[in-house]
Structure 1
Amino acid sequence: MSVLGRRAAVWVFLPFAAAYFLAALLRAVTATLAPTLAEAFTLGAADLGLLSGGYFLGFAFTQLPLGRWLDRYGPRQVLLAFLGVAVLGCGVFALATGFSSLLVGRMLFGAGVSACLMAPLTGYRRWYSPAAQLRANAWMLMTGSLGMVASTLPVQWLLPVLGWRALFWGIAALVLLSGAWIALAVPSWNRPRQEATVLLEANDTAGYSVVWRHPYFRRLAPLGFFTYGGMVAMQTLWAGPWMQRVAHYSELEAATGLFWINVSMLCTFWAWGLLGPWMARHAIDVNRVIARGLPFSLCVMLGLLLLGPQAGSAVWALYCVSCTVMALSLPAVAAAFDANAAGRALSAYNLVVFGGVFVLQWGIGLAVDGFIAAGLDVLGAFRAALGMYLACNLLAWLWFLRKPARP
């Protein structure tokens, strides 16, 4: 398929961005709703971690078939089917009467929006030039940050007016509208005949062996799990409880802090979008940028642990921003594979990332509860849990450094 012109590329980008905005809103809204849901359903830290991680569990379950379907059927058809599941999940969540139904609803809409980034990135691999891919990838993530911004103060303002149940019915309606826009704007997946044999292999799980065995994928996977996944886990859940329970923010102050964290992420991804084409023109190795940029995030997390109650939203914003260098890993993964395998490569990497989000969100909740049960105070429990997380990030970075840069 030929590279799209500028106007056509923008027309394709916008509906994809609208769907990803809603996906990010659904991903992050638990951090804002955590106090409301904890009070309504008597949830502890581990329950909140599991509930928030349920989104990523549903997300992870779909990634392997999603990659095969994207390579075979294309972004438009696959994403439209998945968005129907997201609407169902929003309905189940809105009607929930207990923790189990909340979890099922969150898993369903997590699965339903799991194609909202991988589908466009698969399409961009064919429809956009390499420089445009870097920009589109960064600006998709910027749109996601905008969705996370919307999940903070705007949601906090709407809660007394609408209630959280009506909020989810509204999101379901918006998901339906974004699907209609995608159906109108996104081109079909017309494949040349010579691709048929390759794509038939993608119907079998063995079609992923080319991904799992790839040296670059293995080099990047631990960073994807702990650092990229950890950034999302902190941004969408644990930054909020830290601000409330450790830094003693009120609910509104915590929502305001999350708002500014997500605004800072939005601005950073916008900047990466501007920088991406320049990096492509000057043949700058993104692996070197990742390797040199990540130590700063390790230092910020260490500083956060040392500051304790003095570490508020500004420190969390600095940590999340320092991790955004990992956004470069998505186009790098796509570029490391043939265009016919891009859907599988991206989905496999996404499985690693969001598997990390689920494990870290739930695992940190379990660790905090466990350390409190062992006799530590709240500050000590959070420090111990996040200290373990920091150690895992350090080991993943060292693994990335010791592996060869290219296959």
Structure 2
Amino acid sequence: MATRVFFLFTLGYFLSYFYRSANAVLSKDLSQDLGLGPAELGFMTSLFYLAFAAVQLPLGGFLDRMGPRVVTPALLLVAALGSVVFALAPSFPVLALGRALIGVGMAAALMGALKAFSLWFPKNYATVSTLLVGLGATGGLLAATPLALLKEVLGWRGVFLLGALGVVLVALAIYLGVRNTPPGVPWPKAGGAGGLREVWGNGRLLRVAFLALAFAGSFLALQTLWAGAYGYHLGLTAVAVGNLLFLYSGMAVLGFLVSGYLADRLGTARVLFLSALAFALGLLLLLLKLPVPAYALLGFFGAFNILTLTQARELVPSHLVGRGTTLVNLFGIGGTFLLQWGVGVVVGSLGYGAAFGGLLLLLLLALGLYLPLLHSPSQLKN
């Protein structure tokens, strides 16, 4: 049963990663077909993250009370509806609505899995949760070169119609195939509104959350749109851009797979801090117009942002894991919305150099605020 739980939740996260990443390859087609400028493209794509973030806090409460077996499939059906709306959109507003519905629907794909894993795999949570993300992140690989080739056959609308069917099937598989807890393990008491006040009053958790905003936000804003758009800006073909995104996403898969292993052995705080510094170096290489080494660094070390969620679990008791992790994820996904849209605005007025420089400065600020946690690792455990 544990293997089935792991596999089905990983499949759900695979779909979430595909959908969040798809617009990077499709950006040129969407812009041409619907007449979107950089700011509109950035705003529409970022609506996935705005909608995703908007449901995080109520989602945490639902997960702590009802469990991921019910909550995750229910929201996946919303994502399937959004995929159909997106595929049939005749105009920018309808396209934006579809993108937002997909974001709402995918909001529980990762958080539901992390809630389940906190009970199914408590002794090796960091390793298993980052393995989930590493395997699920192969959805980003599907949204790179393979998607560039597939959309030549089906068109971007056909891709989203086919995707909707896949989402429905995975939702049914999760509902019918998993349990909230292992046999004999009781469901933890969820607690009330005081639990929400407790996580918002946790100063260390908020420092981690702000790092998630800058680190996860930059990583996803680039991977799921602007890394692709930047490739087109450099004059590359769709397949060449797909290859660059494949490099980014492939290195991210490797980063996800090793991040939990390193965190379990070297400490979450240390590994998270050093990986964020390496990601900052990748942003610097972007400023120097060196996309290949930049994308490799950004993909591999950017994947370590998932450790912000691992650290959130370390900072709250078991009955608040849903709310603690969704709070940090609220900042990470909300940051992706703000940064993805903001990069579009800055690119449209000042160019890519100013946009990437802004991401770098924000990350360095977040690392400065995170430093006290690095110097007091003994306080990070519950």
Q: TM-score, normalised by structure 2?
A: 0.93
- Out of 216, 219, 224, the residue aligned to residue 212 of structure 2 is 224
- AA at the equivalent of 1:298: A
Matched, 1:382 2:374: no
Residues in 2 aligned to 1:302 and 1:168: alpha-carbon distance in whole angstroms: 35
State how many pairs are aligned: 376
- Out of 12, 23, 32, the residue aligned to residue 19 of structure 1 is 12
Residues in 2 aligned to 1:63 and 1:57: alpha-carbon distance in whole angstroms: 10
Structure 1 residues 191, 79: closer, same or farther in 2, change over 3 A? farther
Residues in 1 aligned to 2:148 and 2:329: alpha-carbon distance in whole angstroms: 30
1:237 matched to which residue of 2?
225
How big is the alpha-carbon RMSD for the aligned residues of Structure 1 and Structure 2?
A: 1.9
Residues in 1 aligned to 2:185 and 2:173: alpha-carbon distance in whole angstroms: 26
Matched, 1:335 2:314: yes
Q: Deviation of residue 271 (structure 1)?
A: 2.6
Matched, 1:208 2:202: no
Q: Deviation of residue 226 (structure 1)?
A: 0.7
Q: Deviation of residue 200 (structure 1)?
A: 5.0
Q: Deviation of residue 139 (structure 1)?
A: 1.5
Q: Deviation of residue 106 (structure 1)?
A: 0.4
| Partner SS, residue 115 of structure 1 | helix
Contact 1:56 1:357 in 2 (8 A): yes
1:139 matched to which residue of 2?
131
1:153 matched to which residue of 2?
145
Structure 1 residues 200, 297: closer, same or farther in 2, change over 3 A? closer
Q: Deviation of residue 336 (structure 1)?
A: 1.5
Structure 1: stretches of 5+ with no match in the other structure:
1-7, 372-380
1:91-130 CA distances to partner (integer Å, 9 max, x unpaired)? Answer: 1111100000000000001100110000010111111133
Percent same amino acid among aligned pairs? 32
Residues in 1 aligned to 2:216 and 2:201: alpha-carbon distance in whole angstroms: 21
| Partner SS, residue 363 of structure 2 | helix
Contact 2:56 2:107 in 1 (8 A): yes
Contact 1:258 1:313 in 2 (8 A): no
- AA at the equivalent of 2:251: S
- AA at the equivalent of 1:394: L
1:285 matched to which residue of 2?
267
Higher mean Cα deviation, 99-108 or 231-240?
A: 231-240
Residues in 2 aligned to 1:285 and 1:227: alpha-carbon distance in whole angstroms: 18
Q: Deviation of residue 219 (structure 1)?
A: 1.8
Structure 2: stretches of 5+ with no match in the other structure:
none
2:370 matched to which residue of 1?
400
Contact 1:89 1:107 in 2 (8 A): yes
Matched, 1:266 2:266: no
| Partner SS, residue 248 of structure 1 | coil
Contact 1:261 1:314 in 2 (8 A): no
Q: Deviation of residue 402 (structure 1)?
A: 3.7
2:241 matched to which residue of 1?
254
- AA at the equivalent of 1:292: L
1:375 matched to which residue of 2?
none
Higher mean Cα deviation, 285-294 or 11-20?
A: 285-294
Residues in 2 aligned to 1:357 and 1:28: alpha-carbon distance in whole angstroms: 12
Contact 1:82 1:112 in 2 (8 A): yes
Matched, 1:361 2:348: no
Q: Deviation of residue 195 (structure 1)?
A: 5.1
2:78 matched to which residue of 1?
85
